């Protein structure tokens, strides 16, 4: 497993654009508009990239550009603003990184003076993982050039980042919050930025970064080239684009919400969270999945599921916002190396993670947004390989399923799933999702009650160890019978009667006179 940078998109179809159109099956382009880039892009050399860049590309094993690269690279090299619609795995990172490196090479310096290496290209990403991945790609593409690059993100010590920035870098990748921290610390200066890239702008808006983005844009020079990439073009994204892009070239390489035909999509009905957790382990074993990403809507749910899978003997780890940066990076690296079999992730934590030849994804929770469903399953079945997208649902997910089918314009297969739940005392229970279809209401009620009883926190605790020879049926300690009596409002004497034992033990306080009113006389 390794990072994917130059893959073809899932189910990609040519979309409307004012740049070069996607290549056809014979590797040629349709006629472009007058003044547009070359119409026959079949290799990276055809772009006119610097030989040092072509050498790095060849060493990385890239043979021909993907559709997003074929469209974006000539436009970026021409100095135009870009509004690109591209999802993870389409090769968009190389689509903007390669031409940026090419454009900055004339300004590159071999001097050791930090002043000769100001920040000239700024790449903003929503998450630490995506920022780190972009930085690694930039380093790989520029390995044979004197250009310097760095990445800054939150969750780790600022001191090493500050040292790197003060040493001088031409290409800086950052998350919004940590970048502003460094600006306030005066460890970086953005006044000479010539190229700005906003990657996964839709996710940045979802995460509430719009105010930070606006602050960053206000720090930049007005005369610059701006590139924005987003998985979707919502009204909010278009409004953001109008605020800082100047006559941008629209680039779309895939039909919106396109789904790959080579990905098997199946939805399974289950009964509650306990059955869902058991279903995940069952699907992984039954399908012999060697590597899979499991999506959870919540951080708590991701952690619980990972722990349950570990108890089932599976090599699983969770990745979410509550994990430290070091833990997240270690988990991602272990997953990419195959040391971890199951990666349980939230959408935000998994954003930007690209794994080549990922055989399957599992939706432990159906996503709140149908667009996120498309993003999730787009991680499998890449480059023409087959993949599986397996989803679990309960009764309350019916609306979410309908929204997904409406957005994708595809009826998803819903199947019953027999799940064997581990018993608490050596037994096992089996639930079939057929109960959802038909009149099994009473039966489901009994099963639901049993499931809630078995999943009670008290039952998960191990009882204290008994002394040797003690009886397992030992009667509980005696308690005051008053606390076991039902409430009887009609009998006012009950409280007095309950207090009599205490009085007999000499605990009654001596009687004293009490004033009828505060400050009054007795």
Q: Residue 270 domain-assigned?
A: yes
Q: What does the alpha-carbon distance between residue 158 and residue 151 come to, in Å, rounded to a whole number?
A: 11
Residue finishing a domain among 423, 452, 481? 452
CATH number at residue 375: 3.40.50.300
Q: Are 275 and 455 in contact (CB under 8 A)?
A: no
Say whether both 147 and 271 belong to one domain.
no
Say whether both 381 and 335 belong to one domain.
yes
- Longest alpha-carbon distance in the chain: 108
Q: Residue 101 domain-assigned?
A: yes
Q: Residue 518 domain-assigned?
A: no
Q: Residue 349 domain-assigned?
A: yes
Q: Residue 9 domain-assigned?
A: no
Say whether both 190 and 326 belong to one domain.
no
Q: Residue 356 domain-assigned?
A: yes
Say whether both 239 and 198 belong to one domain.
yes
Say whether both 146 and 203 belong to one domain.
yes
Residue finishing a domain among 432, 452, 472? 452
Say whether both 383 and 304 belong to one domain.
yes
Report the SS3 class of residue 323. coil
Q: What does the alpha-carbon distance between residue 324 and residue 305 come to, in Å, rounded to a whole number?
A: 19
Residue finishing a domain among 202, 223, 252? 252
Say whether both 322 and 394 belong to one domain.
yes
Say whether both 48 and 183 belong to one domain.
yes
The per-residue pLDDT for 66 is 86
**Structure-block tokens of residue 343:** 């990666």
Say whether both 339 and 386 belong to one domain.
yes
CB atoms within 10 A of CB 448: 13
Q: Given the structure tokens 């199951």, which residue do they identify? A: 342
Domain count within the chain: 2
Q: What does the alpha-carbon distance between residue 359 and residue 94 come to, in Å, rounded to a whole number?
A: 24
Say whether both 375 and 333 belong to one domain.
yes
Q: Residue 109 domain-assigned?
A: yes
Please give the chain's pLDDT, 522 residues, in tens. 333 333 333 333 333 333 433 333 223 333 333 334 444 567 899 999 999 999 999 998 888 898 889 999 999 999 999 999 876 667 889 999 999 999 999 998 888 888 889 999 999 999 888 899 899 999 999 999 999 999 999 989 999 999 999 999 999 999 999 999 999 999 999 999 999 999 999 889 888 899 999 999 999 999 999 999 987 788 888 899 999 999 999 998 754 555 667 788 999 999 888 889 999 999 999 999 999 999 999 889 999 999 999 999 999 999 887 777 778 888 888 998 889 999 999 887 676 566 777 899 999 999 888 878 888 888 887 766 788 999 999 989 998 999 898 888 888 989 988 777 765 434 444 444 443 333 333 344 444 444 444 443 333 334 444 444 444 444 455 555 555 555 555 444 444 444 444 444 444 555 555 455 555 444
Q: Which residues contact 258 (CB under 8 A, 6 or more apart)?
A: 9, 10, 11, 12, 13, 374
The per-residue pLDDT for 511 is 54
Say whether both 168 and 297 belong to one domain.
no
Q: Which residues contact 133 (CB under 8 A, 6 or more apart)?
A: 3, 93, 352, 353, 354
The per-residue pLDDT for 499 is 45
Q: Are 378 and 408 in contact (CB under 8 A)?
A: no
The per-residue pLDDT for 39 is 47
Q: What is the dihedral of CA 444, 450, 455, 458, to 10 degrees?
A: 150
Q: Strand 413-416's sheet: what is its strand order?
A: 316-319, 342-345, 292-295, 360-363, 387-393, 263-269, 413-416
DSSP for residue 431: E
Say whether both 209 and 285 belong to one domain.
no
DSSP H/E element including 294: strand 292-295
The per-residue pLDDT for 113 is 86
For residue 136, what are the domain limits?
44-252
The per-residue pLDDT for 351 is 65
Q: Residue 352 domain-assigned?
A: yes
The per-residue pLDDT for 512 is 55
């Amino acid at each position: 497993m390794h990072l994917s940078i130059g893959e073809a998109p899932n189910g990609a179809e040519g979309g409307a654009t004012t740049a070069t159109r996607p290549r056809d099956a014979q590797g040629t382009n349709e006629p472009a508009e007058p003044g547009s880039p070359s119409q026959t892009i079949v290799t990276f050399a055809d772009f006119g990239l610097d030989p040092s860049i072509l050498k790095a590309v060849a060493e990385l094993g890239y043979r021909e550009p993907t559709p997003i690269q074929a469209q974006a690279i000539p436009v970026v090299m021409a100095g135009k603003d870009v509004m690109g619609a591209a999802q993870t795995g389409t090769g968009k990172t190389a689509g903007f990184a390669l031409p940026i490196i090419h454009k900055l090479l004339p300004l590159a310096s071999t001097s050791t003076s930090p002043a000769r290496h100001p920040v000239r290209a700024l790449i903003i990403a929503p998450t630490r993982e995506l920022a780190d991945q972009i930085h690694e790609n930039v380093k790989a593409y520029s390995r044979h050039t004197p250009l310097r690059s760095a990445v800054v993100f939150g969750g780790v010590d600022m001191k090493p980042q500050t040292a790197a920035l003060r040493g001088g870098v031409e290409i800086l990748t950052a998350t919004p919050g940590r970048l502003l921290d460094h600006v306030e610390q005066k460890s970086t200066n953005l006044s000479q930025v010539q190229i700005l890239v906003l990657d996964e702008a839709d996710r940045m808006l979802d995460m509430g970064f719009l105010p930070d983005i606006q602050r960053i844009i206000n720090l930049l020079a007005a005369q610059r080239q701006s590139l924005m990439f987003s998985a979707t073009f919502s009204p909010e994204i278009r409004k953001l684009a109008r605020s800082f892009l100047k006559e941008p070239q629209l680039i779309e390489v895939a039909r919106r919400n396109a789904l790959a035909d080579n990905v098997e999509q199946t939805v399974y009905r289950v009964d509650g969270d306990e059955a869902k957790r058991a279903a995940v382990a069952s699907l992984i074993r039954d399908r012999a999945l060697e590597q899979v990403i499991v999506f959870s809507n919540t951080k708590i749910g991701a952690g619980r599921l990972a722990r349950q899978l570990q108890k089932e003997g599976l090599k699983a780890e969770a990745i979410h916002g509550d994990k430290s940066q070091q833990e997240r990076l270690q988990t991602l690296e272990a997953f990419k190396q195959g040391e971890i079999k199951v990666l349980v992730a939230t959408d935000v934590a998994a954003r930007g993670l690209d794994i080549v030849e990922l055989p399957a994804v599992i939706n432990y929770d159906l996503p709140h947004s149908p667009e996120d469903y498309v993003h999730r399953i787009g991680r499998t079945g890449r480059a023409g390989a087959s993949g599986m997208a397996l989803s679990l649902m309960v009764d309350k997910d019916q609306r979410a399923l309908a929204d997904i089918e409406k957005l994708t314009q595809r009826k998803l297969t819903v199947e019953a799933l027999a799940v064997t739940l581990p018993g608490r005392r050596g037994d096992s229970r089996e639930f079939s999702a057929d109960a959802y279809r038909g009149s099994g209401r009473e039966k489901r009620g009994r099963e639901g009650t049993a499931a809630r009883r078995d999943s009670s926190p008290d039952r998960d605790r191990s009882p204290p160890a008994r002394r040797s020879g003690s009886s397992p049926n030992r009667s509980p300690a005696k308690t005051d019978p008053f606390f076991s009596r039902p409430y009887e409002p009609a009998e006012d004497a009950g409280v007095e009667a309950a207090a009599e034992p205490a009085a007999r033990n000499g605990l009654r306080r001596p009687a004293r006179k009490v004033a009828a009113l505060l400050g009054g006389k007795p």
